[in-house]
Amino acid sequence: MPNFLHAIFQAIANVGNEQELQLALADKISEHFGVQHWGIYFLDDPATEVDNIPAIPAVCLESNPVGRYVVERHAPAHEQLILSPGDWKHFCSRHDHEHVMTGPIVCDGRLVGTLNLARDRGNPAFNGNDLADLSALCIHLSAKLATLRATPSKIPNTLLESPLTPRELEIAQLVAQGLTNAEVGEKLWITQNSVKQALKRMFRKLEVSARTEMVAKLHLISPHKLK
C-alpha cells in the first residue's frame, strides 16, 4: 500500500496546473481508498455557482460535525471519528454517502478546498489507516497547490483563446470522454444540476447547441486539452 500511495504523490507532483489535479488522480484515489465517490472541492471556484447561488458541496462544510471539524482544525476526519455509528445519516440524506471522509487543502494559512471521499452502503467504515493516508495526501495536495499558485501559470496561448473558465474546461474534458452529467458531477464533486447549468453557460459562450459541437469547437481552440 505505501508504494501505491507514493504513486499518488508522484501523480500530484507531475500535475502542471490546478485543473489537472482531478483527472490525474481519477483512478488512483478510488483504488487506494476503496471508495465509490470522491472529489476535490475548491471553496473559491466560481464555477460552483449557478445564477449567483453557491452550489452545495457534497460534504457541506460547517453544516455537519465532519465539515466543522475540518474547518476548525484544518485536519482530516471521517464520520466515525466524531460521531456514534449511524449518526452520520442524521446530517446526510444521500444514499451513496454511507461513510464519508474529508481532508483539508490549505494555502497561505487558510482552508482553500477539501478532498472528499465516500463509500456506498455495504462497505466498511473508514479507519485510522485511511485517515493517516488522507492526511499525507492532503499535505502533498496543499504543497502542490501553493507551488502552482505562486508560479506563473504555464498555459499555452491556444488555451487562453478559450472563453471558458478552467473549471468549465475541466467539465468539457470529462464530457469529451463520454461521461454523463451525473458522472461528471461525481468526478468533480458537484451536483448534477451544477453540471447542467455549467454546460448551458458553456454552450452560450461557444455559440453551440450540443455537446458534440462543443467538443469539436474546443478541439480547434485547444486540441491538447481534449485527448
CATH of the domain at 210: 1.10.10.10
Q: Is it the case that residue 165 has pLDDT exceeding 90?
A: no
Its domain, for residue 221, covers 157-225
- Residue carrying C-alpha cell 468549465: 168
Distance CA 100, CA 222 (A): 37
Q: All 3 cell numbers of residue 212? A: 458534440
Residues 100 and 7 placed together within one structural domain of the fold: yes
Q: Which of 54, 96, 67, 97 has its CA nearest to residue 194?
A: 54
Residues 52 and 164 placed together within one structural domain of the fold: no
71: CB partners within 8 A, 6+ apart: 61, 62, 111
Residues 101 and 139 placed together within one structural domain of the fold: yes
Report the mean per-residue pLDDT for the chain: 82
- The pLDDT value given to residue 179: 85
Residues 39 and 127 placed together within one structural domain of the fold: yes
Residues 79 and 179 placed together within one structural domain of the fold: no
Residues 40 and 99 placed together within one structural domain of the fold: yes
Number of domains into which the chain is organized:
2
Residues 64 and 134 placed together within one structural domain of the fold: yes
Domain boundary among 117, 132, 150: 150
Q: All 3 cell numbers of residue 3? A: 508504494
Distance CA 140, CA 104 (A): 11
Residues 44 and 109 placed together within one structural domain of the fold: yes
Q: Is it the case that residue 48 has pLDDT exceeding 80?
A: no
Average pLDDT over residues 4-25: 86
